[in-house]
Structure 1
């Protein structure tokens, strides 16, 4: 009998309330985010929101290696390979559900804590980025490495990468750079640094807390006070982005993606972190580089809801006409690490090719995410 992909339980609090606990439960796949997780989690978050006895929610991943290493791209690959005629249908269902869940997390009015221990990548970052309380541990490792598989930084990244210092979001999207806990705090992807060995004590303290009159403001006040007692920023590793901020901005603050990519690849700094980023970009999908750049341009001043709506179109098109299938094949299926991208280099990608990827799939009235922004 297979295990449940996601587990739900509730912890009693001293004052008669309950803390909702959700656990992504496929540690062998590093808790890759599947529809079997996404849809029940969204329903449960809505249920816990309506339940006045639930004072807070805690989301984590099973095992000690990852919150979530990304979306279930193997399932997406299988859908693309088994029946191309149903690829758009499956991709639409998957990404619609994922982005609706991410938006629900961004707008969740009760205290929602995400335990960002270990690997937090791609779809995992979508779960963490918008939570009211993003709890990084010293072992936290964040990245959006979609350049390696022919996708692009989605899960709202078109919006939140724009809220980083100029050029940094573009650099991260183009190179798939790995960030540590200090970087997450510096760039607004985490709020707290809490040692992983304090998890059980922290949950026990949340159970013992007084949630006052149970108004949302009371709940946030209490959770914040408990988290204050456990934060240990002195345990964070040395940051990688802020110490190199001027250098990274010189590379990425350019007038075009072609120029930015050329400057990053021509960089001669003898630095292991920068070198790994260059290598990832060099081997990455040329079309993805353009999609990263274009989406950041399109959503510099947009709403989060509009970014998710635009990302849904692009993500489905990546499955039906982009390089995503080839990228997953090379990295995870055949594992030859030799993708045959549709373009030889970034400079070979035309504006028409990018425009085709962004062409609408639905009218505004029929868009699957048309209701985002209207929920409480």
Structure 2
């Protein structure tokens, strides 16, 4: 087994064409998305997109625990300590390249299937969300847990969370609630549940198919392959669907303080709902404030505009204290006792929000090339 953090291979198909396969290969780190991974995936995906003999691509991960548990933040953490509010060139490269990859996935010109087995969180959701065919399994566990680490749901989260039914996306963003395969399909994060044990069946079908070499027809064919593989598979109950009305009531209105008050006062016998409310109470007030600001700003933005706004937001979080403190509390010291600044949502000012979202460099936007 190679030591590369991403493995690449190609499936030879009956018609003589090829289907690319990219495998995240850091199972001991739950396939956390690193800069090295991005720098391997981005050029390879561009190569496959331009190769007429490649009819589609599959993105998967090694191991049985996780597709990807999020971004690899340990190296970024060191630069946050070193740079503080000053310019952080590592962070600039980290977010620019990750968002370039995410955008390419959203706009990929051929069928692009993500096999989202096991844990799919944060940056892992960013990889899956834009694929043309998003597969989940009975073991899939999906979440955007950034409020726990003093960040916000980036990687296009401002785009795809806003497009979920009702206010379920805002609920997931503010509470870090973990959802299952049925929830992922209901919310639009996934398309189909295929049991993990049928993965080989899907790969065999890809190899045995005579692909048209035309994106629309090939996407339809891949959908048929996945539909056959999903036959008889039982979906678990969807918590988002069951609690849809409660979630919409909790998230109602255009004042975050009203939402916060409802969550703080919420009491339920349902452990999942109660846990979500408690997670909001423990999360970073700065994360909640910026998340809600983005929720209000993005509805009429293009995907490229959202990624450009998120780029500045992410650098803004790097320049403020909560992101480093959240990483410390969850990933470094693991005391789960962060000291947020400000400690209360009521103390967050308009200037504080705007400073997170302002441009931090002159000249063309680093993501200006996005269409």
TM-score, length-normalised on structure 2?
0.97
Counterpart CA distance in 2 for 1:242 and 1:104 is 31
Q: Deviations over 1:34-83 (max 9, x none)?
A: 11111210110110111111111010111011110001111210222345
Alignment of 1:133-282 (within 5 A): 133-212=133-212, 214-232=213-231, 234-282=233-281
Counterpart CA distance in 1 for 2:214 and 2:167 is 40
Deviation for aligned residue 1:360: 1.5
Deviation for aligned residue 1:236: 1.5
Deviation for aligned residue 1:232: 3.8
Counterpart CA distance in 1 for 2:289 and 2:329 is 21
Structure 2 stretches of 5 or more lacking a match? Answer: none
Match of 1:300 in 2: 299
Q: Deviations over 1:107-136 (max 9, x none)?
A: 001010000000000000000001000011
Counterpart CA distance in 2 for 1:82 and 1:315 is 17
Deviation for aligned residue 1:221: 2.7
Q: Answer whether contact 1:166 1:253 (CA < 8 A) is retained.
A: no
Give the counterpart of 2:365 among 364, 367, 375. Answer: 367
Secondary structure at the residue paired with 1:326? helix
Q: Which is worse superposed, 54-63 or 221-230? A: 221-230
Structure 1 stretches of 5 or more lacking a match? Answer: none
Counterpart CA distance in 1 for 2:217 and 2:238 is 34
Q: Deviations over 1:184-239 (max 9, x none)?
A: 11010001110000011110111001113x12223223212212211247422110
Q: Deviations over 1:3-41 (max 9, x none)?
A: 111111111111111110100000011000011111210
Q: Answer whether contact 1:48 1:54 (CA < 8 A) is retained.
A: yes
Match of 2:14 in 1: 14
Question: RMSD in angstroms over aligned alpha carbons?
Answer: 1.6
Q: Answer whether contact 1:80 1:87 (CA < 8 A) is retained.
A: no
Secondary structure at the residue paired with 2:23? strand
Secondary structure at the residue paired with 1:323? helix
Counterpart CA distance in 2 for 1:86 and 1:292 is 23
Q: Answer whether contact 2:33 2:70 (CA < 8 A) is retained.
A: yes
Counterpart CA distance in 2 for 1:283 and 1:109 is 41
Counterpart CA distance in 2 for 1:234 and 1:11 is 26
Alignment of 1:80-119 (within 5 A): 80-82=80-82, 84=84, 88-119=88-119
Match of 1:79 in 2: 79
The runs of 4+ residues in structure 1 deviating greater than 6 Å are: none
Residue 102 and residue 319 in structure 1: after superposition, are their counterparts in 2 closer, same or farther (change >3 A)?
A: same
Residue 230 and residue 180 in structure 1: after superposition, are their counterparts in 2 closer, same or farther (change >3 A)?
A: same
Residue 82 and residue 358 in structure 1: after superposition, are their counterparts in 2 closer, same or farther (change >3 A)?
A: closer
Secondary structure at the residue paired with 1:305? helix
TM-score, length-normalised on structure 1?
0.95
Alignment of 1:18-57 (within 5 A): 18-57=18-57
Q: Which is worse superposed, 230-239 or 53-62? A: 230-239
Q: Answer whether contact 1:150 1:285 (CA < 8 A) is retained.
A: yes
Q: Which is worse superposed, 24-33 or 85-94? A: 85-94
Deviation for aligned residue 1:166: 2.7
Secondary structure at the residue paired with 1:362? coil
